[in-house]
Amino acid sequence: MPPTLGGAIRLSIRAFRREAWLSALGLLVAGLRRMLGWPAVVAAAALLLRGAAEAVLHAPGRLSAPLDGLLAVLAAPRFLGVVGGLWLAGVVTAGALRVAWLSGALPVLGAAMAGFPRGSAGFTAGLAGGFFRVLAAALLGFVLELSGTLFAATMFLGAFLVGVRSSGGGSAASVPVAALTALALTLALAVPAALSVAADAVVARAAVRGEGPAAALAGATRRFLQRPGTFLLGGMVFGLAILAGRLAVSAFGTLATGFATRAPAIVLLGPELMLSVLAAFVVAALELLWLGTVVALACGEDGIRRKA
């Protein structure tokens, strides 16, 4: 039986206190993953500026020359190939970096919960021994989340079409239509959330208990069905906490820099960078607590101790 949400959070906090250095590493990983999208943006900007400059050189007296140059570059297959290739490479590399982070961090959190902190040596061992297993589980989790997104889109579209077709049916059909629409909208919100949490649970079991994708999915499904409300509530709580953390840091930054509205931009650059780093650190710490909670819910304290 999975622990209660409060018990899982307490185990996660215990692991976080013993392995707090993981939050700094998580911040570094998040920054690197964000930087992997820059090459595509830089390449796109450079190609567009080059196209506009060449168009101006060929027709210096025409006002629409820069726009024509931009449109010509956008329509060129080479532009789509270069920018699309860089974007795809960034996405794949960012995903691999995420898998590497999870394959090392999750076993460390599990061992810390069991009372056997491993430190950086445990992270290295988990990364070396579980990367490909966690990668397979992460791909399975991606399929689960994608199916949840498609399901939600289908439910929203169905509810919209039913509402449009029944708009002229009178009041007699309004009650069942309203009930079906409410059910569809509820499922459109609940099913993707459940599949997203289940995907995290599959990855947690693959990393901590060393299970393959099929066994991890079966184990995660079994534990989810034992306490579905706990899993869903945990996902909602931490999702809102991460969003609230970002908004709170942003609001604090606006309040702190609001007194220097007339200061040069170069003066405000330092405080804004510090606030951005603080927001990223808060998100990294909350995500680490969520990962620990998922480990506790998906694996259980007994299962963690057997693998510690």
pLDDT number for residue 305:
55
- Please give the pLDDT value at position 87: 92
| Kind and range of the H or E run holding 234 | helix 228-257
Q: Give the chain's radius of gyration (CA, Å).
A: 24
The answer on pLDDT for 8 being more than 80 is yes
Listing DSSP states for 30-45 in one string gives: HHHHHHTTHHHHHHHH
C-alpha 106/C-alpha 111 separation (Å) is 9
| pLDDT, the chain, mean | 83
Q: How confident is the model at residue 217 (pLDDT cuts 50, 70, 90)?
A: very high
Q: Identify the sign of the CA torsion 263, 269, 275, 276.
A: positive
Q: Which residue has the higher pLDDT, 242 or 175?
A: 242
Lowest mean pLDDT among 2-6, 200-204, 278-282, 300-304: 300-304
Using 50, 70 and 90 to split pLDDT, how confident is the model at 120?
confident
pTM: 0.82
pLDDT band at 71 (very low <50, low <70, confident <90, very high): confident
Q: Is 97 or 259 the better-scoring residue by pLDDT?
A: 97
Among residues 269, 298, 258, the alpha carbon closest in space to that of 113 is found at: 298
Distance separating alpha carbons of residues 130 and 204, to the nearest angstrom: 11
| Residue 166: DSSP 8-state | T
The answer to whether 125 and 191 are in contact (CB under 8 A) is no
Asked if pLDDT for residue 76 goes beyond 60, the answer is yes
Query: Model confidence over 155-213: pLDDT tens digits?
Result: 888 888 877 776 655 555 576 777 778 888 888 888 999 999 999 999 999 999 988 99
Nearest CA to 207 among 100, 120, 78, 293?
Answer: 100
Q: What local confidence, expressed as pLDDT, does residue 243 receive?
A: 82
Share of the chain above pLDDT 90, in %: 30
Is the torsion defined by CA of 235, 121, 28, 213 positive or negative?
negative
Q: Where are the domains of the chain?
A: 5-307
DSSP-H helix ranges across 59-173: 65-75, 77-113, 119-165
Confidence of residue 284 (pLDDT cuts 50, 70, 90): confident
Instruction: Determine the average pLDDT of the residues in 38-63.
Output: 85
How much is the average pLDDT of 114-138? 88
Q: Is the pLDDT of residue 280 over 70?
A: yes
Say whether pLDDT at 249 is over 60: yes
- The residue among 241, 200, 199 whose CA lies nearest residue 105 is 200
pLDDT tens, residue by residue, 128-152: 988 999 999 999 999 999 999 999 9
The distance in angstroms from the start CA to the end CA of the chain is 19
